[in-house]
Amino acid sequence: MSLLVVGLSHRSAPVSVLERAALNVDAQAKLLQDTLAAEPAAEAAVLATCNRIELYADVDKFHAGVAELSTLLAQHSGVGLEELTPYLYVHYEDRAVHHLFSVACGLDSMVVGEGQILGQIKDALARSQELHTAGRLLNDLFQQALRVGKRAHSETGIDRAGQSLVTFGLEQLAGREPVEAWAKGKRALVIGAGSMSSLAAATLARAGVHEVVVANRTLDRAHRLAEILAEGGTGTVARAVPMDQVAAELTRADVAVSCTGATGLVLTAEAVAAGVADRTGAPVTVGAPRVPASSAPSAPHDAAADSDEACPLGLSGDGAAVPRGVGFSVMGEEAVAGMDAATLEQHAAWVDNAPAERRDDPASEADTITALAAAVTATGRVPERRRGPSIVETGNVLLALLDLAMPRDIDGAVHRIDGVRLVDIESLAEASADAPMADDVERVRAIVSDEVAAFGAAQRAAHITPTVVALRTMAADVVANEIARLDGRLPGLPEKERAEITQTVRRVVDKLLHAPTVRVKQLAGEPGGAGYADALRTLFDLDPQTVAAVSRADKINEPTDQNASQTDPNRGRA
């Protein structure tokens, strides 16, 4: 077994990198095909969720495999290899098995103990089966991971330690209130009809929202989800609308959840501002965040500064929104979060032409603008950089937004709109960092360790089986040849005596081989046991081609994916 995993997750990379590296279904398929075409890989599977991207492969060379898989991830994610490399992690053989089993149990999730990852692992397995990129190793690995995850949830209280990302997100939106009290009577808009969106819709219905409106690019899927919700017995009204009705529905919604596979924004800040404008009776604009005077250093009033050309974006302030004398270097990235490239360039030009007395630290400011410009080049928009979510009084929120997509569906700039509350993957990661760990986590870790040892032993034992079969085949050939020689020397030997001699010789050979073959299988299950197969081949001078032929025959006799999915509930699509 030479299992290798190369990936990145919310634990190793910032959300901005995960967002850019996100792979849609087509990109995942192409990555699998290209990985299999690469020389070091014989099997491949991709596990891609909202907070992780991992490429699993059976490789024959470790260093070459790491280099190839890292390069392929960079090529298909669109993030340069040099930029991506610092965020990548690598696990090999037993450590790779341990990692996937931990992921399946929810130990590596953003919300520890969440069970949704099991469905995502099942989807990853099904995709690799459909594309014929998963062989015996990855099929065994992913199916065992599913069993380990189910065992952890059934034998421990890990479910109490965690919850789904949907539930956790809704709790963040609800603030101090219980989700049921917060959601009661609200109108909800759910954008998307995939597994995450369906879970969000069902959770909202159970929480007591009055209405759930489902919007999806494929209207039939939206209708099916709405029908399921309406028949769920919760009393929630459910209906489906096409995607072009999202803007209209946003003006009525109290809460909106979005999780689509779109590569661009589904809800812009302008669309959200328009959605809440009618409720306030006044136009709502998206502007730079206001900085209270207490948060900015005081600066002496300078008459010369009064005559300076004002910042075209109003970031220099007039003493009301921002104190006079506060420049870009004081307000920092928060002042330009959400700007597009053209606007940033306009502001940068104003900063470059500013007199020295208006700028606190020109050198530092130039470095900041350079870094932001690089971010704009990559993403098209300056990333939002806000503090972690704080509990707010929900009564002041006109529209609560939950963005569970990666890359994001909702423009991060909406947090600057009065009356709008946004919770997204980034804020959930910050909020979950301090989440308490349950006592059951240690029990789950023990289960994972036991299962890793059992899986490794089974794989090592399976590795030696072709050698044992080849040895017994050679012994059977020896017996057959000797009986043939006996027939040549004693052609008149009665059939009864001949059969008794044949049976006796076979019993002798079987007894001689029984103890060593049983023992070698036991030893093969231990660490380093693969060497016993080599010893058998050497001691008995077994033909390597015969051993390889047995291995090929085993693979040919494996059940097809379709048949296996009918007999094993852990194989195939969910």
The secondary structure of 178-217 as a DSSP string is: -HHHHHTT-EEEEE--SHHHHHHHHHHHHHT-SEEEEEES
**Mean pLDDT (whole number) for 343-364:** 54
Burial of 243 (0-12, 13-18, 19+ CB in 10 A): middle
Q: Give the pLDDT confidence of 262-277 residue by residue, as tens digits.
A: 878 899 888 899 888 8
Question: How remote is the C-alpha of 273 from its chain's centroid?
Answer: 31
91 pLDDT more than 50: yes
Establish whether 50 is a catalytic residue.
yes
Measure the CA–CA gap between 93 and 86, rounded to whole angstroms.
22
More confidently predicted of 262 and 47 = 47
Order of strands across the sheet that contains 211-216:
237-242, 211-216, 187-191, 255-258, 399-403, 420-424
Would you call 495 helix, strand, or coil by DSSP?
A: helix
Which residues have CB under 8 Å from 60's CB, separation 6+? 2, 40, 42
410 pLDDT more than 70: yes
Measure the CA–CA gap between 323 and 515, rounded to whole angstroms.
87
* pLDDT reported for residue 115: 79
**Mean pLDDT (whole number) for 289-311:** 38
439 band by pLDDT with thresholds 50, 70 and 90: low
Beta strand pairing call for 187-191 and 211-216 = parallel
436 pLDDT more than 90: no
Q: Give the pLDDT confidence of 226-264 residue by residue, as tens digits.
A: 999 988 888 899 999 999 999 999 999 999 999 887 878
Burial of 235 (0-12, 13-18, 19+ CB in 10 A): exposed
Q: Looking at 50, 105, 259, 311, which residue is catalytic? A: 50
Q: Which of 249, 227, 246, 224 is nearest to 238 (CA)?
A: 227
301 pLDDT more than 50: no
Q: Give the ranges where 281-382 is alpha helix by DSSP (H).
A: 303-307, 328-331, 341-352, 362-379
Measure the CA–CA gap between 210 and 187, rounded to whole angstroms.
6
Q: Which two tokens stand for residue 41?
A: 């890989």
470 band by pLDDT with thresholds 50, 70 and 90: confident
More confidently predicted of 104 and 339 = 104
Would you call 344 helix, strand, or coil by DSSP?
A: helix
Q: Which two tokens stand for residue 453?
A: 């040892």
Phi, psi at 57, each rounded to 5°? -155, 150
